[in-house]
């Protein structure tokens, strides 16, 4: 057919068809968004192991209100929309509702608990703390059960700077390192020249120091640990005269390194300590012109001590010390012994009574010495053996401040001035 004979078809385009290309991009974009949202909802809501045929059923079951259905998968919207309980905690019904379910493949699916702005998060499994060499403070246990048997064998491990001691200081020992202060009235003779016939009067003795554990291979119990231990001890024993402008009368200084072993109810120590006595500057300036002479008292001592708990609340002890260096009239041997009655477990805020007696004898005093007794109320710490006490103290015998002695000009023997004192005090062992 020739071009001339080719029929020509003429048609008119309607306005709606003419504008269609402009609408196609908007329709395509909207359709793509719908498809993307539908696909994301399927991926996020359904576990990979679930059959696609079950999707509509599971979705409809979870979206029905006022009914309890078995949860087949995690649905974020249902978790966030869970109503808040009045008390912020779970009850038994809630706990059963959020128990894990086991689908057909055998893999449990845990449903997250509702997200609350306050209150605890309840986990499916109970919390267990990280294991250590020893810890009785396990969540869910009664702490009272931890202290039923204080002497039971427990695991040992290396510990740097543990929080308690295997061998503790003697409660009534006048020369034991701790934090303490005692205010007392002494009816013994005064060491001031010209006042020897007078009573000493009111004095104020304080101890500034402590005993700490540095390294241990042993148990890590809150009370009465066992094992091998290296300790450090040190203190300044200070005496003030409140009736004389609170002048410093004297200060004795002690430093030591105890090596300790404890097993069961027994504790043993071998220790070295250095003790030196010094007179107060104010006291010396005032009374040296009147005839008071200071003593250069020094001791370097090796100590062997033993302690035994007959009962949890009853301790007896004894130790012997031999000094390899002596000055100022000091002689080698000294002995110390005593007993203590005190609550061995945490006391709580109410505290518990205590009683302690300590005796000391020294070769340089012709085996004279002193006896110190204390009675009062004590508070023991909950997770350590830190001990705070208040009470009454009575001491009779040689003055524990080694500067206050007398030398017989004929025999050359040293005699300590005696004290007969009673007062109130506070003692803190940490």
- Parallel, antiparallel, or unpaired: how do β-strands 266-279 and 179-189 relate? unpaired
Mean pLDDT by 10 residues, the chain (430 residues): 48 46 53 60 47 44 44 42 46 52 61 53 43 41 53 92 95 97 95 87 97 96 92 98 93 98 97 97 92 92 98 96 94 97 92 97 93 97 88 97 82 82 97
pLDDT attached to residue 207: 98
CB atoms within 10 A of CB 70: 9
Domains and CATH numbers, the chain: 157-429 (2.40.160.40)
pLDDT attached to residue 62: 45
Cα separation of 342 and 351, whole Å? 10
pLDDT digits (tens, 9 = 90+) for 293-344: 898 999 999 999 999 999 999 999 999 999 999 998 899 999 999 999 999 8
pLDDT attached to residue 106: 64
pLDDT attached to residue 34: 62
pLDDT attached to residue 80: 42
Note whether 204 and 243 are within 8 A (CB): no
Q: Is the dihedral of CA 212, 299, 208, 399 positive or negative?
A: positive
pLDDT attached to residue 190: 92
Q: What is the pTM of this model?
A: 0.67
User: 3-class SS at 16?
Assistant: helix
pLDDT attached to residue 278: 96
Note whether 380 and 347 are within 8 A (CB): yes
Cα separation of 134 and 129, whole Å? 12
Token pair for residue 12? 């008119």
pLDDT attached to residue 104: 60
Q: With left for phi above 0 and alpha for psi between -120 and 50, is residue 25 left, alpha or beta?
A: alpha
Cα 81 to chain centroid distance, Å, stands at: 43
The residues pairing with 76 across neighbouring beta strands, listed in sequence order, are: none
pLDDT attached to residue 90: 46
pLDDT attached to residue 28: 60
Note whether 263 and 269 are within 8 A (CB): no
Residue 337: how many CA atoms within 13 Å on its side-chain side?
Answer: 5
Sequence-separated (6 or more) residues with CB below 8 Å from residue 246: 204, 240
């Amino acid at each position: 057919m020739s071009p001339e004979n080719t029929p020509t078809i003429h048609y008119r385009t309607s306005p709606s068809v003419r504008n269609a290309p402009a609408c196609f991009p908007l329709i395509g974009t909207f359709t793509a968004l719908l498809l993307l949202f539908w696909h994301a909802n399927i991926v996020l809501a359904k576990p990979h192991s679930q059959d696609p045929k079950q999707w509509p059923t599971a979705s409809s079951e979870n979206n029905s209100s006022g009914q309890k259905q078995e949860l087949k998968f995690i649905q974020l919207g249902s978790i966030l929309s869970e109503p808040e309980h009045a008390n912020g905690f779970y009850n038994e019904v809630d706990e059963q509702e959020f128990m894990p379910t086991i689908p057909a493949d055998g893999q449990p699916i845990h449903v997250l608990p509702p997200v609350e702005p306050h209150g605890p998060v309840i986990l499916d499994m109970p919390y267990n703390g990280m294991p250590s060499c020893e810890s009785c403070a396990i969540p869910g246990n009664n702490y009272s059960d931890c202290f039923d048997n204080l002497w039971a064998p427990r695991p040992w491990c290396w510990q740097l700077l543990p929080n308690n001691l295997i061998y503790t200081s003697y409660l009534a020992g006048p020369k034991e390192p701790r934090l303490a202060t005692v205010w007392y009235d002494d009816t013994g003779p005064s060491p001031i020249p010209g006042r020897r016939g007078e009573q000493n009067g009111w004095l104020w003795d304080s101890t500034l120091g402590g005993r700490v554990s540095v390294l241990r291979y042993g148990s890590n119990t809150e009370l009465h640990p066992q094992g091998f231990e290296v300790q450090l001890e040190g203190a300044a024993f200070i005496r003030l005269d409140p009736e004389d402008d609170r002048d410093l009368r004297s200060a004795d200084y002690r430093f030591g390194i105890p090596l300790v072993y404890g097993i069961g109810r027994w504790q043993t120590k071998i220790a070295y300590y250095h003790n030196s006595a010094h007179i107060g500057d104010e006291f010396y300036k005032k009374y040296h012109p009147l005839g008071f002479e200071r003593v250069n008292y020094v001791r370097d001592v090796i100590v062997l001590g033993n302690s035994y708990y007959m009962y949890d609340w009853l301790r007896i002890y004894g130790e012997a010390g031999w000094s390899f260096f002596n000055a100022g009239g000091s002689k080698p041997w000294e002995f110390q012994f005593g007993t203590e009655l005190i609550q061995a477990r945490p006391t709580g805020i109410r505290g518990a009574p205590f009683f302690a007696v300590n005796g000391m004898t020294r070769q340089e005093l012709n085996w004279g010495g002193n006896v110190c007794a204390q009675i009062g109320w004590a508070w023991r710490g909950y997770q350590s053996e830190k001990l705070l006490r208040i009470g009454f103290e009575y001491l009779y015998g040689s003055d524990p401040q080694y500067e206050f002695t007398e030398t017989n000009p004929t025999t050359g023997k040293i005699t300590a001035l005696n004290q007969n004192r009673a007062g109130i005090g506070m003692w803190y062992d940490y």
